[in-house]
Amino acid sequence: MKQTLITLVEDKPGVLNRIASLFRRRNFNIESLVVGHSETPGVSRMTIVADEKDAHKRGNIYFNLLKLVNVVAVKDVSNLPCVSRECLLVKVTIGPDELNSLNTITKQFGARIVDMGAETAIVEAVDEEETINEFVEALEPFNITELTRTGKIVMRCGKTHRVSGTRINTQPDDIMWSPEQVSSYH
């Protein structure tokens, strides 16, 4: 089962290295990791997707992240209602007679052509992981020469849970963004 974690961390050097080292030491595989600024100055937001079948180990990932220095909060959103997206840039080789076919496929998937050269085109798509996978399959006849994906980004549906970036390594009772059903990891 894939585990999706939203992690808020202090925007300081070495934080990403500590998180990657935690996963390496515990022999957990990071399937996707996306980091960027959050709405709070000095706090970055990480979306981490790990593929771990054992529920006990998924709990270990969660609680080990909470213990790390510079981690403000961790939220396991694997089973919560969320909006998730992935961004894709793909370069395909096309001839002049294939442009209409490429336009049809890009429109069908809500993508767009962002660069057009004499022999290649770069296409951009933003959607759910499954749709991006289908889009890549649809582009295979065009000879994909380069492809890059961002990985999953996630935002919970509903109420926004605020976390103070000044209260680092506090107890779960002290922050408003506390885990639901923590006992399920025991």
Q: With 0.95 as the threshold, say if the pTM is over it.
A: no
pLDDT at residue number 59: 87
pLDDT of residue 162: 60
Question: pLDDT tens digits, residue range 174-184?
Answer: 444 444 433 33
Below-50 pLDDT ranges, the chain: 165-186
Would you state the pLDDT for residue 173? 46
DSSP letter for each residue of the chain: -EEEEEEEEES-TTHHHHHHHHHHHTT--EEEEEEEE-SSTTEEEEEEEEE---HHHHHHHHHHHHHSTTEEEEEE-TTS-EEEEEEEEEEEE--GGGHHHHHHHHHHTT-EEEEE-SSEEEEEEEE-HHHHHHHHHHHGGG-EEEEEE---EEEESSS-----TTSTT--GGGSS-PPSSGGGG-
Domains of the chain: 2-80+159-180 (3.30.70.260), 82-149 (3.30.70.1150)
| Residue pLDDT, tens place only, 50-65 | 988 888 888 889 999 9
